[in-house]
Structure 1
Amino acid sequence: MTKGICELIWLKRLLTKLGYRLTSVMNLFCDNKAAITIAHNPVQHDRTRHVEVDQHYIKQKLEAKVIQFPFVKSDDQLADILTKAISNRTFHNSPDQLGIGNIYAPT
């Protein structure tokens, strides 16, 4: 999440320099309910000992209303086709959702 937040902030600054005024809260979609819960409540010490610095950064950005973490089901997470081993059904549905056409289809 921290890496994603840093990328979103970088993109926001880049768009601002290019003349676009962005005023809305940025969404970082997450398919992990535990990560969302920990981001909102970093007092869960036993589960998060190794990520304390990242937790504070995430919590700071949440409180400043820079980002929010809407939940998205794993089946609807389009980026998974590029980063994870996924089921055959999900693999064949994802290109359509991404707008990728079949290069072998007859024209």
Structure 2
Amino acid sequence: MDLYCDNKAAIAIAHNPVQHDRTKHVEVDRHFVKEKLDAEIISFLFISSEYQLADVLTKVVSTTVLLNSLGKLGICDIFAPS
């Protein structure tokens, strides 16, 4: 299973067991993810924030990214002139 992530630090922590000292609250989750990475069940792939469709629902994005993502999600402006 491919997991797309726009956070390079999160990908590095998942792959590198030495960096676990930098995390406080993800001990159990980190071990679970590391186990699945070692078994090659999941893989982390970096993707730029502008291509993350969920970002329009969770954070502030530019107008260009917003309009592009809304189109990909099939969301349209019902008040736009026809």
TM-score interval (norm. to shorter): 0.7 to 0.9
Structure 2 counterparts to residues 1-107 of structure 1, below 5 A? 26-105=1-80, 106=82
Give unpaired runs (5+ residues) of structure 1. 1-25
Distance apart, 1:99 and its partner CA: 2.9
After TM superposition, what 4+ stretches of structure 1 lie above 4 angstroms from structure 2? Answer: none
| % identical aligned pairs | 60
CA distance in 2, matches of 1:53, 1:65: 19
Structure 1 residues 51 and 101, CA gap change in structure 2 (3 angstroms): same
**Going by fraction, where is strand more abundant, 1 or 2?**
2
TM-score by length of 2: 0.82
Q: Which structure would you say has the larger RCO, counting Cα contacts within 8 Å and 6 or more residues apart?
A: 2
Root-mean-square deviation (CA, aligned residues, Å) is 1.6
CA distance in 1, matches of 2:18, 2:24: 10
Distance apart, 1:46 and its partner CA: 3.4
Higher mean displacement: 41-50 or 57-66: 41-50
